[in-house]
């Protein structure tokens, strides 16, 4: 996910963008922190880097094709910094290698599926509905069988929303709200 830059902001909208960027960074498996090497680092860059977990981040020093300024790594030396010029394609292999290295380090932890929050919610809803159905059936009352069957049908619909077999207007609105049309 591409986020807003991490800087002090005066505008309420920009402050919200920075707050959302920080929230996404906290949830991310890997953070690519891009700096303009032709501008060097300022205090806000150093502060932002000091808040990042070096085991989950890669610092990309872009625009080395321009006169790059030296980067003082005091206090941030734990971060791997990769010089590159995206416009010239220099350093791309090093960036890929760093990302794969970070992913390899994560592979040693317990495996987990990566799904969107929207899909996770559908699956959670289905699980809650199935648990409700199980509770109805555990009592052994025959009149609850039809209610339990309806719960199972509702759970299947939740899974269908996650797989794209079933969609609603609200679902389409949520999907398209994540895209910036015209960008």
Q: How far apart are CA 173 and CA 175, in angstroms?
A: 6
Give me the residue label for tokens 């679902």.
171
Q: What is the pLDDT of residues 13-55, one digit of tens each?
A: 877 877 787 777 787 788 888 888 888 777 777 878 888 888 8
Domain ranges of the chain: 12-107, 117-176
Give yes or no for a contact between 125 and 158, defined as CB atoms under 8 angstroms apart.
Answer: yes
Task: Give the model's pLDDT for residue 68.
Answer: 64
Largest CA distance in the chain: 79
Q: Kind and range of the H or E element at 47?
A: helix 43-51
Look at residue 93 in the predicted model and tell me its pLDDT.
92
Cα dihedral across residues 170, 172, 173, 174: positive or negative:
positive
Which CATH number does the domain 12-107 belong to among 3.60.15.10, 3.20.20.100, 3.90.1580.10, 3.40.50.300? Answer: 3.40.50.300
Kindly state the DSSP code that residue 65 receives in the 8-state scheme: T
pLDDT, average across residues 106-135:
77
Specify the range with the lowest mean pLDDT, choosing from 9-18, 33-42, 91-100, 121-130: 9-18
Q: Give the chain's length.
A: 183
Cβ contacts of residue 28 below 8 Å, gap of 6+?
Answer: 1, 56
DSSP 124-149: HHHHHHHHHHHHHHHTT-GGGHHHHH
């Amino acid at each position: 996910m591409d986020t807003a830059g991490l800087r002090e902001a005066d505008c309420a909208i920009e402050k919200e963008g920075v707050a959302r960027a920080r929230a996404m960074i906290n949830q991310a498996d890997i953070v690519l922190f891009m700096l303009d090497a032709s501008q060097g680092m300022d205090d806000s860059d150093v502060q932002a880097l000091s808040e990042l977990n070096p085991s989950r981040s890669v610092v990309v020093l872009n625009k080395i094709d321009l006169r790059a300024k030296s980067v003082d790594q005091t206090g941030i030396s734990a971060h791997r910094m990769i010089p590159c010029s995206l416009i010239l394609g220099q350093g791309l292999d090093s960036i890929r290698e760093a990302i794969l290295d970070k992913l390899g380090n994560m592979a040693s932890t317990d495996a987990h599926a990566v799904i969107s929050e929207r899909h996770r919610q559908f699956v959670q809803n289905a699980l809650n509905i199935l648990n409700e159905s199980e509770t109805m059936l555990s009592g052994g009352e025959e009149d609850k069988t039809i209610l339990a069957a309806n719960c199972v049908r509702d759970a299947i619909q939740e899974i269908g929303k996650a797989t794209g077999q079933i969609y609603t207007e609200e679902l389409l609105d949520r999907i398209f709200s994540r895209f910036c049309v015209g960008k």
